Amino acid sequence: MRITHVSALAAVFLTLGTASAAAEPNPADTPRQAIARAYLDALVSHDASAVPFAPDATRVEVGFQTGFSGPQLTADLEHGLQYRVIQGYRELTMTESGDTVTTTYLLDTGIAGHRLTTVEIVETFVIPDNEIQTIEATITPVL
C-alpha cells in the first residue's frame, strides 16, 4: 500500500510540478553565460539537450556532491523528481571571470501553479572548452 502512495505522489510531481517560466535567451550573453543560462532553462523545462556537460562533470550543492557525471546530470535535469517542483527563476544576474560564470537568481518552487517557496541560489559554473565541468551551488531561503 505504501508503494502506491509513493507512486501517486511521484505522479503528482511529474504531472503538476512542471513549470513554464524561464528567461529568454539573451543575445548579450557571452558563450559561457549562454551555457549557464541553458542549464537554468533546463531546470524549468526539463529539456537538457542544449546543456553541454563534460563527461566527468560534477555538481556540489550546499557542500554535498549531487552530480557525478555529465550523463547523470543530464538525466537528473530531464527526469529527476527534485526538479519537477521548479516553477521558474527570476532576477538573474551573471558575472564572468576567465572560465568561471557565477549566477545569482531567485528560484520559485510549487505544485500545480501554487508557489510553495522561493530560494536565492548562487551557482558557480566552471566552463572550460564550452562544456560545464563543475557547478557549485549555495541555497538561501528567502523570507
Place of cell 566527468: 56
Residue 24: the pLDDT is 61
pLDDT tens string, the chain, 143 residues long: the values are 343 333 333 333 333 344 434 456 688 899 999 999 999 999 999 999 999 999 999 999 999 999 999 999 999 999 999 999 999 999 999 999 999 999 999 999 999 878 899 999 999 999 999 999 999 999 999 97
Residue located via cell numbers 562544456: 131
Question: Which of 3, 5, 35 minimizes the C-alpha distance to 99?
Answer: 35
Q: What is residue 115's predicted lDDT score, i.e. its pLDDT?
A: 87
pLDDT recorded at residue 109: 94
What predicted TM-score, i.e. pTM, was given to this entire model?
Answer: 0.82
Q: What is the pLDDT of residue 98?
A: 97
Query: 3-class secondary structure for the chain?
Result: CHHHHHHHHHHHHHHHCCCCECCCCCCCCCHHHHHHHHHHHHHHHCCCCCCCEEEEEEEEECCEEEECCHHHHHHHHHHCHHHHCEEEEEEEEEEEECCEEEEEEEEEEEECCEEEEEEEEEEEEECHHHCEEEEEEEEEECC
